[in-house]
A and B are shown apart, each in its own frame.
Chain A
Amino acid sequence: MPSDNAAPPLDVDQILADPGVRIVVCCGAGGVGKTTTAAALALRAAEQHGRRTVVLTIDPARRLAQSLGLTELDNTPRQVKGIDVEESGGELHAMMLDMKRTFDDVVLAHTDPAKAAEIFANPFYQAMSSTFSGTQEYMAMEKLGQLHARGEWDLIVVDTPPSRSALDFLDAPARLSRFLDGRMLRLLLAPARTGGRSVFSLVTASFGMFSRVVQKVLGAQLLTDLSGFVAALDSMFGGFRQRAEQTYRILQARETAFLLVAAPEPDAVREAAYFAGRLREEQMPLAGLVLNRVHRPAVPELGAQESRAAAERLATAGGHEGAVEVLRAHAALAEQAVREQRVAARFTETFPQVPTVSVTAQPADVHDVDGLRTIGAAISRS
């Protein structure tokens, strides 16, 4: 078990109970149980530690969402009923991120209704708010900032988007900011500022050629739309950047705890190691690694080879088919456990100081509150 190697054990309860911790961010590759982990931790914070908790999920599995009472994507935290908080006095609220609506809200917050309506109608805004790579990451940050600013919660647990790379999550605000601050934007803004009819009148020869090409390839209407969109963004730009920077600072603060979530598979562990290095660079507080879906035999002293040899002996002798199957299954499980340890060790060797907890694979998928409670207990080793 990787947690028994060199890494100190991760004490999740200590984090969840600490009133100084206001934000827990779960990050890692897709398909490692990130959303389930976030939901399980939030439930535990409410039930065991009496905290008023909200969990922000991104694209949860349908049945998991239902188990939290989330039936629609309405971008508002809803209280989760039917959980065991009588003794602790905690609360659990849950919400699913609606990327487009969050973007719309940002626009509304930074401009007047008439201007906002104009922006919403712009085809570039429509494309960008629903498909720009990085929008989901940026909007997750934005929503986190909003929830944090409301100050209603003791603890916010955030699930991060299934990025093509975990880094997108940290880079998105900066990328959007760079994009809005870029030279191209300045160039495109020139006509809007001079009020001139001719697009790109103030710019270089190559840019003039670019605009001719764009007109030819994409049509003049497109340039008008683009120019309008860019001008609209420009008016909101200060607000955009300020918010992104605010959220970034919150993430660096002592009130935030990052938890890496991984499974003992090469890709997921590589992603986790990459992210750990990156968090260190950005001076963001990495609290530990949750290694999900770890297989461990109940009878570790019976090794894979011995088990398989015994199975073959029995099979030859005949008469114990049931036991043969059990021994073969045990051998496969023991082999898998060894393999997983080897994979997990790649992380531990690089980051020996990062506290780690291994969570045993569940035989079935989790989609109710009881299941989340079981996972929460497993992560906390209690």
Chain B
Amino acid sequence: MGAAQHPADRAGTDWPARLHVVTGKGGTGKTSVAAALALGLAADGRRTLLVEVEGRQGIAQLFGTEPLPYAERHLADAPGDGQVYALAVDAGEALLEYLDMFYKLGAAGRALRKLGAIDFATTIAPGLRDVLLTGKLKEATTRTVDQRRVYDAVVLDAPPTGRIGRFLNVTTETARLAKVGPIKTQSEGVSALLRSPMTAVHVVTLLEEMPVQETIDAISELASLGFGMGRVIINGARPPLPSGRLVTEAELARGLRAAGLPADQRIVSGLHDEARDQIIRRELEDSLRADLVELGVPLVELPLLPDGVNRAGLDVLARALIGGD
């Protein structure tokens, strides 16, 4: 991988999928990573769509915008005239849109909503809800205008690892409820896309025990269901310690004196304790990283952003994902 390689080329070769499903345990920063991926893949004149499906308005919070409607809106610009659009898919709206497409509902659709039918339908059958949400994703991923794809890539801020298998496994879930009819056909179409090379599932984790365990569990579940793995993305990774060796207190005291700092016993042992805890933490991180390497899924590490995730931070993450190794 030459450093001269263009980010956009890398976006094509290293991230070949069109639909990127980003999952991870809650609290690992999957929304930020999904946003950064959408930005990175939009570099150099591309257009991407960042989608959320859980009604959390996480994208709006992250970008500091008004809550997203059920409509594709311009969200941000990427370097080199790239554009990121955003969409918050709502199952009820998707159902109405779907029914309208096939049955020309018009005003009757609004009446149904008033009656609570739409909420009811999407509440009582979670499988139905998921097939509507993933159906909308499929539509956006494959949409063309004048024989050109509208989006170069679609990035989904997906449900967390605990629910991702069920969410993506729409055919099985809907088959339990709908044995015939268009919903069944629809779910089969969605399933084919999700299991094709057009789709990659990425799992975001931190180098902490529980997120790593959930990552391992999710990958084995997703593999058994036949979904293609993209990357394991380690968020908030810190650079390795240069030596990983703990100095003695005497060495430390000499160093402090040489730097012109006070070196009484309390300070020396305090700093020494800090360094020891840090080494313990790093050793644990190293062993967790090794567990992830063993999965055989490509790993990407994103740096810890000292100032939290703001717009500039997202660009840093986008470059780390797409721009270079």
B294 in the interface (beta carbon within 8 A):
no
A364 near B252: Cβ-Cβ < 8 Å: no
Complex Cα distance, B209 from A31, in Å, reads 11
Complex Cα distance, B243 from A131, in Å, reads 49
Given A59-B162, A323-B256, the answer on whether A226 and B274 have CB atoms closer than 8 Å is no
> Which one of B54, B177, B180, B241 lies within 8 Å of A164 (CB-CB)?
B54
Tell me which residues from 302 to 338 in chain A have a Cβ below 8 Å from any Cβ of chain B. Answer: 302, 306, 310-311, 313-314, 317, 319-327, 329-330, 333, 335-336
Question: How far is the CB of A254 from the nearest CB of chain B, in Å?
Answer: 32
Number of chain A residues close to chain B: CB under 8 A: 74
Question: How far is the CB of A316 from the nearest CB of chain B, in Å?
Answer: 10
Residues of A within 8 A of B274 (CB): 297-299, 326, 329-330, 333
Given A310-B261, A365-B208, the answer on whether A216 and B181 have CB atoms closer than 8 Å is yes
Complex Cα distance, B98 from A214, in Å, reads 12
State the 10 A-B residue pairs at the shortest beta-carbon distance, nearest first: A323-B255, A31-B27, A30-B26, A322-B247, A298-B270, A320-B255, A206-B111, A184-B120, A310-B259, A363-B280
Quick one: CB contact mask for B3-14 with A, threshold 8 Å, 1 for yes?
A: 000000000000
Complex Cα distance, B242 from A225, in Å, reads 64
B176 near A61: Cβ-Cβ < 8 Å: no
A217 near B181: Cβ-Cβ < 8 Å: yes
A218 near B116: Cβ-Cβ < 8 Å: no
Residues of A within 8 A of B127 (CB): 127, 131
A323 near B252: Cβ-Cβ < 8 Å: yes
A124 in the interface (beta carbon within 8 A):
yes
Question: How far is the CB of B243 from the nearest CB of chain A, in Å?
Answer: 6
A206 near B112: Cβ-Cβ < 8 Å: yes
| Total A-B residue contacts, Cβ distance less than 8 Å | 205
A339 near B306: Cβ-Cβ < 8 Å: yes
Tell me which residues from 242 to 278 in chain B have a Cβ below 8 Å from any Cβ of chain A. Answer: 242-243, 245-248, 251-252, 254-256, 258-261, 266-267, 270-275, 277-278
Residues of A within 8 A of B56 (CB): 164-165
- List, sorted by A's number, 19 A–B pairs whose CB atoms are closer than 8 Å: A29-B27, A123-B177, A128-B126, A131-B127, A132-B126, A162-B26, A164-B160, A204-B111, A206-B115, A209-B108, A222-B177, A302-B271, A306-B261, A313-B259, A321-B242, A323-B254, A325-B247, A327-B255, A339-B306
Complex Cα distance, B212 from A365, in Å, reads 12
Number of chain B residues close to chain A: CB under 8 A: 75
Give the interface centre of A179, A185, A314, A322 by most chain B CB atoms within 10 Å: A322
Residues of A within 8 A of B120 (CB): 179, 182, 184-185
Which B residues contact A (CB, under 8 angstroms)?
25-28, 54-56, 99, 102-103, 105, 108, 111-112, 115-117, 119-121, 123-128, 160, 162, 166, 173, 176-183, 208-211, 213, 241-243, 245-248, 251-252, 254-256, 258-261, 266-267, 270-275, 277-278, 280-281, 284, 306-308
Complex Cα distance, B281 from A366, in Å, reads 12
Complex Cα distance, B108 from A324, in Å, reads 72
Residues of A within 8 A of B124 (CB): 124, 127-128, 132, 179, 226, 229
A351 in the interface (beta carbon within 8 A):
no
Residues of A within 8 A of B55 (CB): 164
Question: How far is the CB of B258 from the nearest CB of chain A, in Å?
Answer: 6
B183 near A217: Cβ-Cβ < 8 Å: yes
Given A62-B213, A314-B259, A365-B210, the answer on whether A326 and B306 have CB atoms closer than 8 Å is no
